[in-house]
Amino acid sequence: MRVNAYAALERGQELVAWNYESQGLKPDEVLLKVLACGLCHSDVHMIDNDWKLTAYPLVPGHEVVGEILEKGSSFNHLKVGQRVGVGWQRSACLHCDDCLRGNENLCSENTGLITHGYGGFADRVVVDGRFCFPLEDDLPTEFAGPLMCGGITVYSGLRYAGMSSGQRIGIIGVGGLGHLAVQFASKLGNTVTVFTTSDEKARQAARLGAHDAIMVRRGGLAESPKKPFHIILSTVPTSIPCELYLNLLDSDGTLCFVGVPSEPVEVPLFPLLAKRRRVMASPIGGRSMMRAMLETATRYGIKPTIERFPLSEVNTAITKLRHNSVRYRAVLSP
Ligand code: NAP
Ligand code: ZN
């Protein structure tokens, strides 16, 4: 079967219409008709080969919502015609200790949708049915995509950083991930401060649930927070001044990276040592966490703010994302 996609043929280039022949389905595979697909900054990192993981032609797109057109012989729990979401993770071994603990995202053999195959900027996509997540009818197609990577990443990151309720939580960067993090943290009963480079986002943050906004200027922060944070989550795709943020944490506080700068992160020891603070990083989330995230989003009415584009205008969306002018997640429809 011919799949009509958009692909980067070389590093950093605009995507072009491109097609490929899809082979027959393996028992664990499912063929989806793509209904919508979010554009994550990781797609841009992959187009630019920032992480030295990219094989070209690259078909980006890993916040897929699709309808099952065909399924491999292994599945009874999925039905043809059913609507499912698929995120960054293509597959995992499912028998190692990490997988058996429900941490399939930590599996040493895990594969990515767009690092080990072609992604969702296409009319069709073949995925592993074990990493397809059935969607409830009351979750609209265009809102589901951004939850599949952006949503799970911030929810899982915050959970493993120790988020409960009644805490002070800082979110650095109000983009696709950041604007969802603000909602999860605030709806679950925490006091949220955003750190943003945008005056406009600082003003809008309250509507997303933030209690406070602090401007990030070239020379540092425009003001100091009044109280220390239990958790600070960085969603920024470039380097951040680590020491500055570590010093804003309470004793035993955690700085958690979900944003992935290409350069190594420099962590000074003394701000950690003095207050027993921690630094961690968190990749996407396992399957049980994905279900918990979707349930939490539904229960608390958490949904992305999106800008819609036809897939044929994918380059316009990518340019907007590169210029940090998407509010707050671009979603493409074939
Ligand atoms: P995004 O929509 O572009 O948001 C990133 C935000 O970071 C921007 O809105 C901006 O917020 C801030 N920022 C500060 N300096 C920036 C700069 N030089 N360039 C762009 N943004 C800058 O990106 P996203 O889709 O949320 O992804 C954010 C990061 O998370 C990326 O590195 C992505 O690869 C990573 N990610 C990681 C995982 C994981 O598993 N850990 C999963 C998905 C994505 P302000 O305007 O508020 O300053
Ligand atoms: Zn992503």
- Report pLDDT digits (tens) over 298-308: 999 999 999 99
Alpha-carbon distance 41 to 54, whole Å?
A: 14
pLDDT, position 75 = 83
Q: How far is the CA of 111 from the centre of ligand 1 (A)?
A: 22
Q: Find the angle CA(235)-CA(169)-CA(245) to the nearest 5 degrees.
A: 60
Please indicate whether residue 298, judged by its CB atom, sits closer than 6 Å to ligand 1.
no
From 122, 99, 129, select the one nearest 36 (Cα to Cα).
122
Q: Give the position, in ligand 1's atom list, of the atom nearest the Cα of 236.
A: 7
pLDDT for residue 66: 98
Positive or negative torsion for Cα 107, 110, 163, 219: positive
Tokens for 245? 């943020």
Average pLDDT, the chain: 97
CA gyration radius for the chain? 19
* pLDDT attached to residue 227: 98
Tell the residue nearest (CA) to atom 8 of ligand 1.
175
How far does the centroid of ligand 1 lie from the alpha carbon of residue 320, in Å?
13
Q: What is the pLDDT of residue 77?
A: 86
Q: What is the pLDDT of residues 205-257, one digit of tens each?
A: 999 999 999 999 988 999 999 999 999 999 999 999 999 999 999 999 999 99
pLDDT over 70, % of the chain = 100
Parse the chain into domains and list their residue ranges: 2-149+285-333, 162-281
Q: Are 241 and 263 in contact (CB under 8 A)?
A: no
| Strand partners of residue 254 | 231, 278
Strands in 173-228 per DSSP E? 191-196, 212-217, 220-221
Q: Give φ, ψ of 120 to 5 degrees.
A: -95, 5
Q: Given a cut of 90, is residue 37 above it in pLDDT?
A: yes
* Residues 6 or more apart in contact with residue 263 via CB below 8 angstroms: 239
Is 167's pLDDT higher than 90?
A: yes
Q: In the structure, what pLDDT confidence band is assigned to residue 53 with cuts at 50, 70 and 90?
A: very high
Q: What CATH homologous superfamily does 162-281 map to?
A: NAD(P)-binding Rossmann-like Domain (3.40.50.720)
Query: Under CATH, what is the fold of the domain 2-149+285-333?
Result: Quinone Oxidoreductase; Chain A, domain 1 (3.90.180)
Residue ID of nearest Cα to ligand 1 atom 44: 42
Q: Is the CB of 302 under 6 A from ligand 1?
A: no
Whether 305 lines ligand 1, by a CB cut-off of 6 Å, is no
pLDDT confidence of residue 101: 97
Alpha helices in 134-198 (DSSP H): 141-146, 152-160, 176-187
Tell me whether the CATH fold assigned to 2-149+285-333 matches the one assigned to 162-281. no
CA distance 282 to 135: 24
